[in-house]
Amino acid sequence: MHTLWLTSRLLSRAIWNGISNLSTAADANLQRKKDPQIISAVCGFPKERKIQRLIKGQFGDDAWFTAKYKTADVLGVADGVGGWRAYGIDPGEFSLHLMQTCQRLVNMGRFTPTNPSELLARSYYELLHHKKAILGSSTACVVVLNKENSTLYTANIGDSGFMVVRRGKVIHKSEEQQHYFNTPFQLSLPPPGYQANVLSDQPDSAITNNFPVEDGDVILVATDGVFDNLPQSLLIKELCKVQGERCATRLQTVANSIAWMARNLSFDETFISPFAESAFANGINTIGGKPDDITVLLATVAI
C-alpha cells in the first residue's frame, strides 16, 4: 500500500511539473500563427523513490527549461553528475543553475538564435564568476528553433540529447560524447584543489548541428535516463502519436507515457536495455535497466 501511495505521489508531482509548463504553449490551440513555433510539454521523475521537495525545472539531479523570445523558441536539459554527492556537493544545483541561467539569458534576448553552444557558454561562465560558488558537473543539450528561417540549431555535450522524427522516421539524432563507457563529456566547476582530478570539458566541446524543420516535426529532448532505458523503436512509436499535434494537453499525455515507461524499465532487472547492450559492447556483462533521473521534453513544430 505504501509503495502504491508513493508511486501515485511521484506521478502526480511529475505531471504537475509538466502541466505548469503548458501555459507557454496552450495559446497554440487558439489560432495558427504565421511565425514558426514550438509547442511543448515536460515530464520526469527523480531516481530516488522517496518524495522530494518539488522545484520547477528539476527532477532529481536533472534540470530543464523552456523559453520563448521574439526570434526563437528554446528547449534545454541538463543532467548533474551524481558522483559529487560523495564530496558533500548537491549534484542537482549545478545543472539547475545552468538551465535557469540559459532561460534568463533567452528571456532577456542575450543569445544568438543560430548558436546554442554560445548560450551554454554564457550560462557556464556566469556560474564560473558567480559570487556564491556553484560547484558540480553536468551534461547539457540545448535546441533552438530560429523563427526567421524555420531551422533548428542544436548543441549537445555529453549523453543527454535530442531526436527529431518526421513521418515515422528519425531524421536527426544527437551523438553521445563519452570519455569512456558511462563517463560522458561534462561541464564542470570543481572545488579549489580538485581541478586536476576532475573531468572538465569546455562549452566549445559541444557537438553542434543545424537543419530545416517542417510543420508537424516531433522533437524529443531528454536526459540519458530516457535513452539508456527506452529502445529507439519504442521511442519512435510514441513520438509518432503526436506527429503534427498542436494540442499541448495531448502532448503532455505522451510525454507522461514516455517518462513513465523509462522509469519502469529502469528498475526492471531482466530487461535488455540500451544501457545493458552498450555495457556488453564494452566488455561488461550486465542486464537490466539503469535506475536514473528521467527528464522528457516533448515538442512539435507548428509552421
Which of 19-28, 52-61, 190-199, 290-299 shows the lowest per-residue confidence on average (mean pLDDT)?
19-28
What residues are paired with 74 via a beta bridge? 67, 144
Please tell me the predicted confidence (pLDDT) of residue 83: 92
pLDDT in tens, 110-153: 999 999 999 999 999 999 998 788 999 999 999 999 999 999 99
Q: What are the domain boundaries of the chain?
A: 51-302
pLDDT in tens, 72-91: 999 999 999 999 999 999 99
Q: Concatenated DSSP letters for 180-222?
A: ETTEE--EEEPPTT-GGGS----GGGSEEEEEE--TT-EEEEE
Cell of 118: 554560445
pLDDT in tens, 7-55: 555 565 565 565 546 544 444 443 455 689 999 999 999 999 776 678 9
Cell of 150: 524555420
Quick check: 238 pLDDT over 80? yes
CATH architecture group of domain 51-302: 4-Layer Sandwich (3.60)
Whether residue 163 contacts residue 172, with contact meaning beta carbons closer than 8 Å, is answered with yes
